[in-house]
A and B are shown apart, each in its own frame.
Chain A
Amino acid sequence: MSEIEVIFSPSTEDSGTFKLLELPPDLLKLVEAAVEGNSSLALSVKGGLEEDAVLCTDEKTYTMRSVVLSNSVLVVTPPQTEEGQVDRIAIRDQLHDVIELVPSLPKLHKLKGILRGAEYDEGHEDEEMDDEDIPAESSPMRRKFTYADALQLQASEGELRRGLRDMRILNVGGRLRPISPSFLNTILELILNHLVSESVPHNAVPVDQLCLALEEHEIRRTVTLQVLAWFGVIRGPSWEMNVDEVLKQVALGILRPHKDEPVSEDEFLAQWKRAVSDTFEAQVSLTLLEGNYLSTTLPNRFPALPALLYFPSSSLPIDPAARFTDLFLTRSRWKAQDIAPYLADIAVDSKERDKLLLKYARAMTDAEGVWYITRNKI
């Protein structure tokens, strides 16, 4: 039996400086691997003073929650003033809570507001900031927002990169600028035309040749390269196109004007096929557009003709309660597979999604199956 003397730490500055952080299994593995020297790990806490803190690794974001303990936990180490293996120990701090980590979604929706006014559009490529004329405090949205600024947002770097790609945000002139949807569609059109006119296979497109062709239409090389990275993979000198992504973007261009007035499904599919070359006609399918359209019928027609309305999940509120309100105002009842794409960006996995449905909707079964309806009385 060894008897070890326990003292309070001789340093008065220790109290309040310690924290206990619960490590979920996946994070534990990352930390252990990094400690053993097998990999690197960037770990940091991010957030503004007004926000709830999150913990970010290279790829994931976790919400930090303080769990109060009924007992107190003493953090005990050898007294730091001694050396070697000691025979007494010091209480450095007394803690009453532990920080729990819950996997969560990255918080990137702020980008939309921050980058409003910085859009990159045909004819407006060169809107540079003249810093001397504009005082810094006035118009925060016109201030240059860089990639380094974006790293301050509550997201891991991996999630940030993916977010910039999904939100079609360019990094040009040292600034983050979302590309205008119509300009993006113009660029894709030019790319598709190039594939046809040069008879180039879409899975091995010579990048230089393509950039030069687009430069003739005044598309900067740096922009072309970023667009290619969004819609495929660049390997050395050649680019492999992601056909589904391109088809989807072309379709959204056709669908976009139909927010209030539906377009006949047949007409839409015909237009879509015409816009892409015959090589890709067969891959055209409405499943590519999940989360962006609603099925409806053309008004004043009998028999009813199927039609589509543009309804993108990106236009819905981030807050779950507000989103469900919007969804039920748009349609009073939803089938599970129809509502799922509209919850994908606010629920981190299907378990979370089911929890949201339980909380904000009510399930109802009839002859046609299970429908979700609102919990509130409207």
Chain B
Amino acid sequence: MIIPITLPRPSSSSPSLPRALAKLGSSEVVLIELQGSLEVEGDRAGQAVGTLTFPEDNNAKPTLLIGHHLLEGKLVTLQKPLAVLRRAAPTINSASHNDEHEEKGEGRRYDMLAIVRRKIVFSKRPIPVVNAAAVKAGMEKEEEEERRRRKKVKVG
């Protein structure tokens, strides 16, 4: 079996990432690393997950607000760049012909979408929040001070 991998071709027709994210290196893909994983109930297609705040300047940290959790992250350069591959949809043939070939894996192809050199990693423990905006303002203020004090945000 031979599965070809096509190389990324800059496409003007595909949508591109917001400028702040595209600055990370690719206008097509960004990688976000989380401790643990996202658990979803019900049909997830198109569902809102949260809000990513991506700073313009290099000193501020990106944050990710999911529900009542605020995660603080940082930019990390990968030791070895990663190629993001996507399995291409099989070409349409007659239905029965397709099944047989699918099983043998014939006609399978992967497209390399982009080469990613940096990722956003959210590895700190999430801060539970009630009023996200107030907490964010407080966080920004802390980062302006030279020495960071550890502060736990208590609910209630």
Interface residues of A (CB under 8 A from B): 1-12, 17-25, 28, 31-32, 34-35, 41-49, 55, 70-80, 82-87, 89, 91, 94, 96, 98, 151-152
Roughly how many angstroms separate A6 CA and B60 CA in the complex, as a whole number? 20
| Pairs across A and B, CB under 8 Å, 20 listed | A4-B53, A5-B48, A5-B51, A7-B49, A9-B45, A9-B46, A12-B45, A23-B82, A31-B7, A34-B7, A35-B7, A46-B3, A48-B1, A70-B35, A73-B34, A78-B17, A78-B28, A86-B18, A89-B17, A91-B49
Instruction: Check if B45 sits within 8 Å of A44, measured CB to CB.
Output: no
Instruction: Check if B112 sits within 8 Å of A31, measured CB to CB.
Output: yes
Roughly how many angstroms separate A78 CA and B13 CA in the complex, as a whole number? 12
CB-CB under 8 A from A25, the residues of chain B are 80
Instruction: Check if A74 sits within 8 Å of B32, measured CB to CB.
Output: yes
Instruction: Check if B82 sits within 8 Å of A22, measured CB to CB.
Output: yes
Instruction: Check if A72 sits within 8 Å of B37, measured CB to CB.
Output: yes
Instruction: Check if B80 sits within 8 Å of A31, measured CB to CB.
Output: no
Interface residues of B (CB under 8 A from A): 1-5, 7-9, 14-21, 28-38, 40, 44-56, 60, 64, 80-87, 105, 110, 112-113, 115, 119, 121, 123
CB-CB under 8 A from B3, the residues of chain A are 44-46
The 6 closest A-B pairs by CB, nearest first: A78-B15, A10-B46, A72-B37, A45-B3, A17-B87, A21-B83
Least CB separation from A80: chain B residue: B15
CB-CB under 8 A from B64, the residues of chain A are 6
CB-CB under 8 A from B105, the residues of chain A are 49
Roughly how many angstroms separate A74 CA and B87 CA in the complex, as a whole number? 16
B87 to chain A, nearest CB (A): 4
Roughly how many angstroms separate A207 CA and B87 CA in the complex, as a whole number? 49
Least CB separation from B28: chain A residue: A77
Instruction: Check if B15 sits within 8 Å of A84, measured CB to CB.
Output: yes
Partner among B7, B47, B52, B83 whose Cβ is within 8 Å of the Cβ of A41: B7
CB-CB under 8 A from B7, the residues of chain A are 31, 34-35, 41, 43
Roughly how many angstroms separate A46 CA and B54 CA in the complex, as a whole number? 40
Instruction: Check if A8 sits within 8 Å of B119, measured CB to CB.
Output: no
Instruction: Check if A46 sits within 8 Å of B1, measured CB to CB.
Output: yes
B33 to chain A, nearest CB (A): 5
A284 to chain B, nearest CB (A): 44
Partner among A9, A24, A76, A84 whose Cβ is within 8 Å of the Cβ of B31: A76
Least CB separation from A46: chain B residue: B2
Roughly how many angstroms separate A28 CA and B114 CA in the complex, as a whole number? 12
Instruction: Check if B55 sits within 8 Å of A1, measured CB to CB.
Output: yes
Roughly how many angstroms separate A1 CA and B53 CA in the complex, as a whole number? 6
Roughly how many angstroms separate A96 CA and B64 CA in the complex, as a whole number? 20
Roughly how many angstroms separate A45 CA and B112 CA in the complex, as a whole number? 13
Instruction: Check if A74 sits within 8 Å of B33, measured CB to CB.
Output: yes
Instruction: Check if B115 sits within 8 Å of A6, measured CB to CB.
Output: no
Instruction: Check if B48 sits within 8 Å of A87, measured CB to CB.
Output: no
B84 to chain A, nearest CB (A): 6
Instruction: Check if B2 sits within 8 Å of A45, measured CB to CB.
Output: yes
Instruction: Check if A24 sits within 8 Å of B87, measured CB to CB.
Output: no
Partner among B14, B31, B40, B81 whose Cβ is within 8 Å of the Cβ of A8: B40
Partner among B31, B45, B52, B55 whose Cβ is within 8 Å of the Cβ of A75: B31
Instruction: Check if A85 sits within 8 Å of B33, measured CB to CB.
Output: no
Roughly how many angstroms separate A19 CA and B53 CA in the complex, as a whole number? 26
Instruction: Check if A7 sits within 8 Å of B48, measured CB to CB.
Output: yes
CB-CB under 8 A from A94, the residues of chain B are 37-38
Known: A20-B82, A24-B80, A31-B115. A73 touches B33 (CB 8 A): yes
Instruction: Check if B16 sits within 8 Å of A8, measured CB to CB.
Output: no
Instruction: Check if B48 sits within 8 Å of A6, measured CB to CB.
Output: yes
Residue of A11, A76, A98 ringed by the most chain B CB atoms within 10 A: A76
Residue of B34, B36, B80, B121 ringed by the most chain A CB atoms within 10 A: B80
Known: A41-B7, A46-B1. A1 touches B15 (CB 8 A): no
Known: A71-B33, A82-B15. A45 touches B115 (CB 8 A): no
Least CB separation from A83: chain B residue: B15
A115 to chain B, nearest CB (A): 20
Roughly how many angstroms separate A89 CA and B51 CA in the complex, as a whole number? 10
